[in-house]
Amino acid sequence: MPSSLYEAPEDVTGQAGWMFSDMLIALMVVFLATITFIPQFAIGSSSSVSKGNSTDTAGGVSGSYSYTEHFDGSFVRAYRVDELADLKKDIATYLKSHSIPADAIVDSAQFIGGYTANETSAAAIARALELSRVLEALAPGLLDHASTILNSSPKLATDLVAIRLTFSAVVNTR
């Protein structure tokens, strides 16, 4: 009998590592293909793309690209409840001095209440919440798009609430 009948079959377990790495590369390619960036085209306030007319020179598609710009820095100031009437004017001054569009929205709001050693931080958070309610009554819509954080600090006086606001704006380009 030929000796080849009694030889052990080829061991392919050494190829398993290569198969695994090839599978990971294929999965990475599929993952990256599914998270591509697709710009949003808008005409007016709707989100759409329409064919341009014969006078358009932009390849037959008219519209604009819009994105949200988040601005660095934040508006930070401590207020007493009776000083909140000045807040809208203070925000407008901040926006102008930092070259932020006047129609920018508040995308994050943090209210930090002060407390003393004789109180708990819960009392300071309650004061911060009350100030945010008063602010919403004085400036309706100001916090409509904001994620709100309530916090406390023993470094603030009990009659003060620090407010920290960050801004973003929708930018349209052609």
Q: For residue range 49-63, what is the model confidence (pLDDT) as tens digits?
A: 333 344 444 444 456
Position 97 pLDDT exceeds 70: yes
CB atoms inside a 10 Å sphere around CB 119? 15
Residue with tokens 């591509």: 36
CA 122 to chain centre: 28
- Tally the residues of the chain: 174
Measured between alpha carbons, how far is 125 from 152 in angstroms, rounded to an integer?
A: 6
- Position 94 scores a pLDDT of 92
Q: Mapping DSSP to helix (H, G, I), strand (E, B) and coil, where does residue 119 land?
A: coil
Residues 17-76: pLDDT tens digits? 888 889 999 999 888 877 755 554 444 433 333 333 444 444 444 566 777 788 888 999
Task: Enter the DSSP assignment of 54.
Answer: T
* DSSP-derived pairing of the beta strands 50-51 and 61-62: antiparallel
- pTM of the full predicted structure? 0.60
